[in-house]
A and B are shown apart, each in its own frame.
Chain A
Amino acid sequence: MTMNSVLETSFADCHPASVPDYTPLAELRALQLRRLQSVVTRGFQNVEHFRNRLVERRLKPDDIRSLGDIALLPFTLKSDLRDTYPFGLFASPMKDVVRLHASSGTTGKPIVVSYTKEDIAVWTSVLVRSFAGCGLHQGDILQNAYGYGLFTGGLGAHYGAEALGAAVVPTSGGNADRQIMLMKDFGVTAICCTPTYFLHLIDRAAELGVNMKELPLRAGVFGAEPWTESMRRHIENNSNIEAFDIYGLSEIIGPGVGCECRRHQGLHIFEDHFYPEIVDPETGDPLPDGSEGELVLTTLSKQAMPMIRYRTRDITMIMTGQCECGRTMRRIGRIGRRSDDMLIIRGVNVFPSQVESVLLQIEGTLPNYQILLTREQGLDQMEVQVEVTPNMFNDKIGALQGLQSRIQSALDHVLGIRVRVALVEAHSLARSEGKAKRVIDRRTS
């Protein structure tokens, strides 16, 4: 079978929204260049922070004459979002913004992202393309167990699935027994959630005497945390579904930056909207396709909050060659690790520095602490162990319990997830060569 005939078959089968997935390469590159020039101009005109960066480098939007010129542009870092909190990177006035989301920053404050109506339409379209690529269509019943709220996962997947024409069951996260009951009673055919949460649902269904293999459920679209091929095998063997990896991050748009197709050989990046590069995480130098490095993304069509060369800190590579499915969108490999110390816990981004900022705020000084990550019944658990200093110690139980719950509620507030706090004896936490070992990860994939 020639590539052309595969391509024709794919076209015939594809959802109308998926047509851009097959844009001929020359046309795609020309579109990307036009959009890149437009987004750089937009950022230069409307975002002071970005304009200053270009001026420092004596760059003008006109200097971007080819896609390769993207390397002239400065990177955007997570700290840029923090430093301009809350609205400093917005390129649209608030009257044009229709949605705000927030996710964890590196310290106490979250980072804020915004969307115009057009941005929401683009976001919805890339999720339709993601779901369609997973073989979902009108008539599917999709249970959306991503959290609804400030987190982009829930609402992003919701509108995408509705636009596809699927019947959405917006369960949000939590309450596994009810998830399983609805899945069974409604005849749910597809589910969206974090892969670890689905592992938990598999285990819980078995305890409840529900045989997942006998349910109509046939596909799962899993993301918001890194997972592995062995987890995929475990999921598929224990539930008879086809498991897909979906990629995204709030800073760029949310879920739907990229997604696997049914070939499961990497995740197609929706390149007409998100331009991928791989750079050396140390030097920032661009690396050719096929080399492993840090993924850098530029939003080509975003209105409210364009991101130019955003450093994702996700380590992967852009795969060479075209996918057998016929899509021209380049693929990235599964994300295995990160170039910073960010932890992903139940799909939520957590930085040790956030924990530090909470402890500093409560204690005035930073006590020695450790983050212990475990997995119980498929769910990530985070415990923060804090060494009791003479300053903190009080000989009343109530005072210590009060301290413990103050730390806990401040952490819950800043991190947005439930955390356990344990007070431990001074000098009891491991230190390696004097430098404290902050994170113990006992989660097994």
Chain B
Amino acid sequence: MKIQQISLFIENKPGHITAPAQLLADEGIDLRSLYLADTEKFGIVRMIVSEWQKAAALLEAHGFVVKITEVLAVEVPDRPGGLAHLLSALDESGINIEYMYAFPYLCGGQAIMIFRFNDLDAGMERLQSAGINLLASDELLK
């Protein structure tokens, strides 16, 4: 159920995101989701791609500092209160969301959000026991 996300360190300067994007494009790797967390001086690019091992090896071979992080792809009911309901499953669990972002495609007609928890296994268990659907990698990337 865990999804491998690729994170890259980049400086917050014009053009610095172009090189990794071009590398992936040249190798025909599909960028399914990209989220940029930024500060004044630097940023972290978080990506979900079609072939994460190939992408990570490619970026590293070109001198990028890459980290693979496991995240969850969570189905969010596409109606008012959908996200609030989902988050309430984490109430009083002590589980902290380190970050979350929306996945830009619908899967099976449902909205998807990517979550990273401080304790990923506990978060996964909690969401599943609340009846919330988590997508496997092949479902997400098909």
Contact = CB atoms under 8 A, between A and B. Distances in A.
A394 B116 CA distance: 13
A397 interface: yes
Given A395-B44, A400-B44, A423-B42, A388 B99 contact: no
Contacts of B88: none
Given A423-B9, A425-B16, A397 B65 contact: no
Contacts of B10: 425
B101 interface: no
B41 interface: yes
A401 B65 contact: no
Size band of the interface chain A makes with B: 10 to 19
Interface of B is mostly: strand
Contact of B11 (A396, A401, A425): A425
Interface residues of B, number: 21
B129 interface: no
Interface of A is mostly: loop
Interface in B3-30: 5, 7, 9-11, 16
Contacts, number: 49
Given A389-B65, A393-B65, A428 B42 contact: no
A400 B42 contact: yes
Given A393-B65, A400-B44, A425-B64, 15 more contacts: A390-B65, A390-B66, A393-B66, A393-B67, A395-B67, A397-B39, A400-B39, A423-B9, A423-B41, A425-B10, A425-B11, A425-B16, A425-B65, A426-B9, A426-B64
23 contacts: A388-B9, A388-B65, A390-B65, A393-B7, A393-B65, A393-B66, A393-B67, A395-B44, A395-B46, A395-B116, A396-B98, A397-B37, A400-B9, A400-B44, A423-B41, A424-B42, A425-B9, A425-B10, A425-B16, A426-B63, A426-B64, A426-B65, A428-B11
Interface of B: 5, 7, 9-11, 16, 37, 39, 41-42, 44, 46, 63-67, 69, 98-99, 116
Interface of A: 388-390, 393-397, 400-401, 422-428
